[in-house]
């Protein structure tokens, strides 16, 4: 099978012809797709199906306004696990981001600072309430918002900042919260990729005013589609619940007088999804241990390759590796060829993360949501506004989709050796790219 890994660059036994050039691929396996749905989830959903009550929500003020027994149990278990006062389930993290924008009171023309490297919903969330996304650049090591760049984006119109704990590493939250306090801004953590990561002793997602988790099928834990917004703030929690469940129909029955203009959506989670999510939450600690241990195992291998940077972990933080990001430091433009060579060896690898979000047609054309205020805004979305994010996308960053596969420890060593094999041919690859 796979021979033992030998240290010191590079094991001469691996310096065979690249698979790219017709040689035998270094890896002779297909990693198992990630799937942690098992007997527990089947039993829990069967019980819900037998009850006949697939959703417990009613859009009327009263007990059923807060959802059925599975939804309420999930929310209290989530709060207990993450040591947070309120957990409000949603039908996706996207809905959670939209609800968070409404909860903090974004109005037409308000500016919300967001990072360009993320999943698209991070940047569309402000638009839903007429807000204007303003892109600050990211840090070149952690790929999360750079506080200095955030500071430069703050204007009189800024109302909120969405920090993305990208790839499973927390954002630089302390300086960003400090800025927010000075300017009276709400800070939201998009923690879809970082469940269980830690920032200075706290859980990522639970550090800022609100945090959003995703339970879609590509994340560490899943229930098909789902999301959770967490907060320690009672007012924000109530607003999130109203937005989740037809606020406009409820405020009267609830006796609200100052929320009468609130429009709610249907962001409600079903009992089936909540039942699955409860089982999955129980599995999270074991999943995290495995993801982290295997990432550290791969890091040991990749550290030997001097033109690559392994994931950086900041002081008093943990990384939970939604993906395993790698920086390519060698003379350009050979990252894409290097990644192509790795893929030919059988390494599950992606050459580039999402294009900086402002480069999408939505921001280039500015026609979504009618004409006002997004289409008339003079906010700059041109190429060049976030040079670090653009460079990472164009030439420096690539990644292994760590939560898409269920690797064995032997496979991790195999991946390490495949990297070593390709690295030993770097000069050849560079001459070809030149």
Ligand X SMILES: *Cc1c(COP(=O)(O)O)cnc(C)c1O
Q: Which residues of the shown chain bind ligand X in the complex (CB under 6 A)? A: 92-94, 118-119, 121-122, 164, 190, 192-193, 214, 216, 227
- Indicate the residue among 87 and 92 with the shorter CB distance to ligand X: 92
- Indicate the residue among 61 and 265 with the shorter CB distance to ligand X: 265
Q: Both tokens of residue 332?
A: 């350009």
Classify each residue of 344-379 as buried b or exposed e, where b means 16 or more C-beta atoms within 10 Å of its C-beta: bbbbbbebbbeebbbbeebbeeeeebeeebbeebee
- Indicate the residue among 167 and 338 with the shorter CB distance to ligand X: 167
- Partners of 211 in beta bridges: 189, 230
Cis before 222? omega within 30: no
Nearest approach in angstroms of CB 96 to ligand X is 7
Phi, psi of 312 (to 5 degrees): -90, 135
Identify the residue whose tokens are 């900042």: 161
- Indicate the residue among 192 and 262 with the shorter CB distance to ligand X: 192
Nearest approach in angstroms of CB 97 to ligand X is 6
CA quadruple 398, 404, 408, 412: dihedral, nearest 10: 0
CB 263 within 8 A of CB 60: no
Nearest approach in angstroms of CB 32 to ligand X is 21
- Indicate the residue among 221 and 418 with the shorter CB distance to ligand X: 221
Intra-chain end-to-end CA distance of the chain, in Å: 36
Q: Both tokens of residue 78?
A: 């989530």
Nearest approach in angstroms of CB 86 to ligand X is 19
- Indicate the residue among 68 and 171 with the shorter CB distance to ligand X: 171
Nearest approach in angstroms of CB 389 to ligand X is 14
Nearest approach in angstroms of CB 121 to ligand X is 5
């Amino acid at each position: 099978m796979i021979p033992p890994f030998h240290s010191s660059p590079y094991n001469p036994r691996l310096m065979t012809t690249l698979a790219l050039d017709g040689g035998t691929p270094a890896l002779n396996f297909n990693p198992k797709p990630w799937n942690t749905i098992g007997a527990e989830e089947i039993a829990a959903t069967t019980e819900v199906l037998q009850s006949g009550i697939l959703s417990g929500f009613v859009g009327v003020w009263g007990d059923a306004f807060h959802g059925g027994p599975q939804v309420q149990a999930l929310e209290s278990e989530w709060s207990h696990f993450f040591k947070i006062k309120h957990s409000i389930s949603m039908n996706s993290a996207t809905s959670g981001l939209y609800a968070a924008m409404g909860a903090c009171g974004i109005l037409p023309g308000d500016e919300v600072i967001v990072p360009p490297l993320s999943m698209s919903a991070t940047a569309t969330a402000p638009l839903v309430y007429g807000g204007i996304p303003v892109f600050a650049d990211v840090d070149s090591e952690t790929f999360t918002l750079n506080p200095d760049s955030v500071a430069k984006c703050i204007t009189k119109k800024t109302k909120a900042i969405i920090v993305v704990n990208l790839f499973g590493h927390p954002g630089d939250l302390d300086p960003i919260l400090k800025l927010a306090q000075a300017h009276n801004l709400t800070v939201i953590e998009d923690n879809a990729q970082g469940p269980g990561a830690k920032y200075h002793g706290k859980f990522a997602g639970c550090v800022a005013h609100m945090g959003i988790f995703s339970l879609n099928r590509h994340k560490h834990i899943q229930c098909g589609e789902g999301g959770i917004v967490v907060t320690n703030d009672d007012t924000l929690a109530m607003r999130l619940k109203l937005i989740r469940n037809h606020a406009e129909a409820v405020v009267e029955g609830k006796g609200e007088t100052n929320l009468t203009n609130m429009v709610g959506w249907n962001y409600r989670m079903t009992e089936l999804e909540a039942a699955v999510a409860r089982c999955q939450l129980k599995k999270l600690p074991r999943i995290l241990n495995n993801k982290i241990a295997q990432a550290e195992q791969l890091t040991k291998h990749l550290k030997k390759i001097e033109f690559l940077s392994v994931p950086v972990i900041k002081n008093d933080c943990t990384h939970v590796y939604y993906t395993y990001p790698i920086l390519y430091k060698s003379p350009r433009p050979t990252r894409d060829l290097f990644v192509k060579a790795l893929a030919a060896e059988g390494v599950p690898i992606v050459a580039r993360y999402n294009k900086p979000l402002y480069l999408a047609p939505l921001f280039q054309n500015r026609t979504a949501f009618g004409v006002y205020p997004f289409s008339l805004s003079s906010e700059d979305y041109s190429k060049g506004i976030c040079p670090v994010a653009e460079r990472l996308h164009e030439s420096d960053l690539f990644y292994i989709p760590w939560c898409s596969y269920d690797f064995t420890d032997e496979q991790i060593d195999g991946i390490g050796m495949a990297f070593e094999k390709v690295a030993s041919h770097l000069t050849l690859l560079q001459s070809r790219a030149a």
